[in-house]
Structure 1
Amino acid sequence: MELDEYLPVLEQANARFAGAAAEAVLAHGWQAPVPGCPGWRLNDLVWHLSEVQHFWAWVVRTRAPDPSTYVEPRRHPDDELLGFLTAQNAELETVLAGADPTTRVWTWAPQQDVAFVLRRQAQEATVHTVDVEQVLGDVRPVPTDVGLDGLDEWLEVMVPGALPDGPPPGAHPVVFHAVDADAERTLFPGSRPFPIAALTGTAGDLLLAVWRRVPLEVLTVDGDGLQAAAMIDLVELE
């Protein structure tokens, strides 16, 4: 994806998330469990995305050199969550729209600029939109370009972040084949001569699989599926 595509993806994901959240509240209530986030309820999910967007809007707006002066918002009661979410959606979108992607800002990754925030927040909102749609029971497909970019981000950013010293002993390559993008990507390339498995599916389903939102059974698995799952699980995500 190109830099100018991330903000529209974020805006579309935010709108989908907010709409699905409002429907899920009416259908299932705030205490509905979130399948993709074990232990979370719907109110936790809505609060999480709101709080994340509040933080990154502050980072970009203030250009703070580190997050030490950030003041966390108080947890809002359930009946205020949708309003707070809408406000944070608008704030983050406005701040990012007015910022030069090359501007230096603090991030937790080696890439320290607004472009990193754009990509990360577009992908964050995309995955959490699937989370809330799973609560509602109406999950829409992740667009091919967004799914492939998210898989690339997971491999390029999340894997090194979780495993800064490289693949641990015993790691095996896992190949991802995105049929709708006619593209292949590899987890732990070079760690062994041959991959332990190849996983084939849409780019969106591959993205959701590495983020543990769907089981590998939604993909076509050629090789050792259990070991492939174990390799993905080596990338511990917070």
Structure 2
Amino acid sequence: MDRTDYASALRRDGARMAEAAVDLTARVAGCPEWDVAELLRHTGQVHRFWTRIADGSVTDPSDNVATASPADAELAGWLAKGVERCAATLERLDPELPRWTWSVQQNAGFIQRRMAQETAVHCWDALYAVGRDEPIERALAADGIDEFLHLFISGAPTADFPADGLHLHATDGPGEWLLRAVDGGWQVGTEHAKGAVAVRGSASDLLLLLWQRRSADQLEVFGTAEDLAAVLAPFVRN
């Protein structure tokens, strides 16, 4: 995916997310402490934060002051305005342009991808909260699995992480990933291989599993319960 794809995805899922404003009091299963109103406020603030980083107006994240969020009745429009500004800013930037990020990837390309992925998962959160269990678009979901495995697993593997690792297999198109513990760190491959645990499902469901929106029993799993717990442990939020 390129910067145009990411900007298009951001606009699409931002618009879909605003549709959840039909019930701002609905609870958000993926973020149990929030209702839809709080989820929209969070996402709108995230868009504004990274827009200022991306356009160069803020270079030190500690200087990035949160924008006041509006009343509930204005949330959908406020979110949409932030989505468009973010997408318009990101689609014109060279992905290699140096920018601060919290990641090892310190460029605009990280922000372009992250904003599309962040919005996709929170769009799913918002729609699911109001009774719409709709998949993340397949190509974006596959890209999100790759982003997650390369950038969101921190810390050293635990001693009980199985040597053969975790194999993820998308059933709705191309996409296989093998996560293994190697020399005290993590190794991600995209070859067809046999892991200690294999999980098969749509790219959307695999991504939602990694982000703890789907439980393993909602997908096709091969492996012992003990090995499954060990391979999923690195993804669990504290």
Query: Normalized against structure 2, the TM-score is what?
Result: 0.87
Computed over aligned residues only, the root mean square deviation of the Cα atoms, in angstroms, reads 2.1
Q: Deviations over 1:60-82 (max 9, x none)?
A: 11253321211112343322322
Query: Normalized against structure 1, the TM-score is what?
Result: 0.87
Aligned-partner residue type, residue 178 of structure 2: T
1:206/1:112 CA distance change after superposition, 3 Å: same
CA positional deviation for 1:35:
1.2
Residue equivalent to 2:170: 178
1:2/1:100 CA distance change after superposition, 3 Å: closer
Residue equivalent to 2:9: 9
Uncovered stretches (5+) of structure 2, i.e. residues with no partner: 185-193
Q: Deviations over 1:182-210 (max 9, x none)?
A: 43212235489x73310001111100001
Where has structure 1 moved over 3 Å in runs of 4 or more?
Answer: 189-192
Residue aligned with 2:221, SS = strand
**Higher-helix-fraction structure:** 1
Uncovered stretches (5+) of structure 1, i.e. residues with no partner: none
1:22/1:157 CA distance change after superposition, 3 Å: same
Residue equivalent to 2:219: 219
Q: Does 2:34 align with 1:40?
A: yes
2:14–2:79 Cα contact (<8 Å) kept:
no
Aligned length: 227
Residue aligned with 2:198, SS = strand
Q: Distance in 2 between matches of 1:129 and 1:37?
A: 12
Percent identity, aligned pairs only, is 32
1:148–1:181 Cα contact (<8 Å) kept:
no
Aligned-partner residue type, residue 118 of structure 2: E
1:180–1:202 Cα contact (<8 Å) kept:
yes
1:206/1:191 CA distance change after superposition, 3 Å: farther
Q: Distance in 2 between matches of 1:33 and 1:113?
A: 35
CA positional deviation for 1:225:
4.0
